[in-house]
Amino acid sequence: MTTTDAVRPDERVPGPMPWLLIAATCLATFAITASGATRSPFLITMSRDLDVGLAAIANLFGLTSIAWGLTSFIAGVGSDRFGRRPFLVAAPIALAGALVGVGLGQSFLWVAIWATVAGGCSGLFTGVSMAEIAGRVTDRQRGRALGWVMAGQSMTLLVGVPMASWIGASVGWRGVNYCVAGLSLVGALAMFSVTASVTRSGAAKAAANPPPLRTALSGTVIRLLGCVIAERICFGLAAVYYATFMLQTYDLSLQALALPLAIFAAGNILGTIGGGQLGDRIRNRMLTFATALIGAGIMAVLLFGWQVGVAVSTALGFAFMFTNALSRPSLMASLANVPAEVRGTVMGLNSTAASAGWLGAAAIGGWILSTVGFAGFGPFSALLAIVGAILALSVRR
């Protein structure tokens, strides 16, 4: 496969969107994303119950992310050889079992083990689900289809975490894990029902003659994966540290922080949906991605450098999330526009790169915070945006 082949346009006549598959994938994706995100309100409670420091509990997110990234690649390769459906159904079921293990864990070691397993199970689903969605639509529908799935991920911030806090007040952090496990089983059932008659998207041919990894790793795909890492670090710096920024800058209470966080998450959801529309309507997706990412870099400079009031910082937080989210569907649609026999591998590598970006955001953000403070977040985000834009604009069709 040549560099230009990696993003060749699909010229099929657009058909109806597979809304049942999209809805089921959104449900399962919501459960999978919630498996880790809903832990955030209970860090202090978990540290007390398990008799460990708060930092140890926070490190569970890192373990989850590492396992997630590793299994995403493995599942992507496997789905190209054996079909998508086994992963789409089995992964949420396995995740439910792992979450029950987290809830039953009586020591930090066992909770850490099961949380890592849960992250691995989540990775088995994410890249494969995007490959399946991308294979069911034409190229000029992929931005919208993948945008809706990514909006399902974003709903975890807006709905999942507050709901977990509310439910956890009655059943505790262990009970929340059981609830998410039940939701994951519902997601597995939904995926089983909507993929019953889906063909294996070229997997039978690939199983008989597996393509080498270098077939998926064209120069174009490598540059696009570089864009993923740059965008995820830029996003993660704000997503991980925005709440702390608002608390420390304006001395807010947790109750007062709820509205800025909800507006922050809403920007991500609306931007993702809008980005899907742009990705399918503007022919040069990489120009769309680069422009939106540069816009996010500018918003980051203003957000972390212009601290004039809660209302302004809330509006800038929304603007940052909106512009950053506008970029992502175009990038995902471009990554998905590869031959079917390697699409699972490429989308799995996308999830692996995204996990690396999240880890980088947490680590680099901590270093910046300890050396120059929040004022360093904006310029660094802008630099990442420029790097991502250069990589994107270097991609040939």
The pLDDT tens digits of the residues spanning 325-363 come to 999 999 999 999 888 888 989 999 998 999 888 888 878
Q: Among 137, 149, 101, which residue's Cα sits nearest to residue 121?
A: 101
Find the mean pLDDT for residues 371-379. 91
The DSSP element (H or E) to which 192 belongs, if any, is helix 161-194
pLDDT at 210 over 80: no
pLDDT at 158 over 80: no
pLDDT at 239: 83
pLDDT at 58 over 80: no
Instruction: Supply 371's token pair.
Output: 């050396």
Weakest mean pLDDT among 57-61, 80-84, 340-344, 381-385: 57-61
Q: How many helices (H) and strands (E) does the chain have?
A: 15, 0
Using left for φ > 0, alpha for ψ between -120 and 50, and beta otherwise, residue 182 falls in alpha
Triad 235, 239, 240: Cα angle to 5°: 115
Find the mean pLDDT for residues 373-392. 94
Cα separation of 285 and 294, whole Å? 14
Find the mean pLDDT for residues 161-176. 85
Find the mean pLDDT for residues 86-94. 96
Count of CB atoms situated within 10 Å of the CB of 158: 18
What rounded mean pLDDT belongs to the chain? 86
Find the mean pLDDT for residues 109-116. 94
pLDDT at 382: 96
Q: What percent of the chain has pLDDT over 90?
A: 49
Which comes out higher in pLDDT, residue 178 or 251?
178
Q: Does domain 16-210 have CATH number 3.40.50.300?
A: no
pLDDT at 12 over 80: no
Instruction: Supply 227's token pair.
Output: 């864009």
What ranges do the domains of the chain cover? 16-210, 215-397
Weakest mean pLDDT among 129-138, 247-256, 343-352: 247-256
215-397 has the same fold as 16-210: yes
pLDDT tens column, 269-292? 999 999 999 888 888 999 999 999
**CATH superfamily ID and name for 215-397:** MFS general substrate transporter like domains (1.20.1250.20)
> What are the φ/ψ torsions at residue 318 (nearest 5 degrees)?
-60, -45
Count of CB atoms situated within 10 Å of the CB of 292: 28
pLDDT at 5: 36
Using left for φ > 0, alpha for ψ between -120 and 50, and beta otherwise, residue 251 falls in left
DSSP three-state, residue 384 = helix
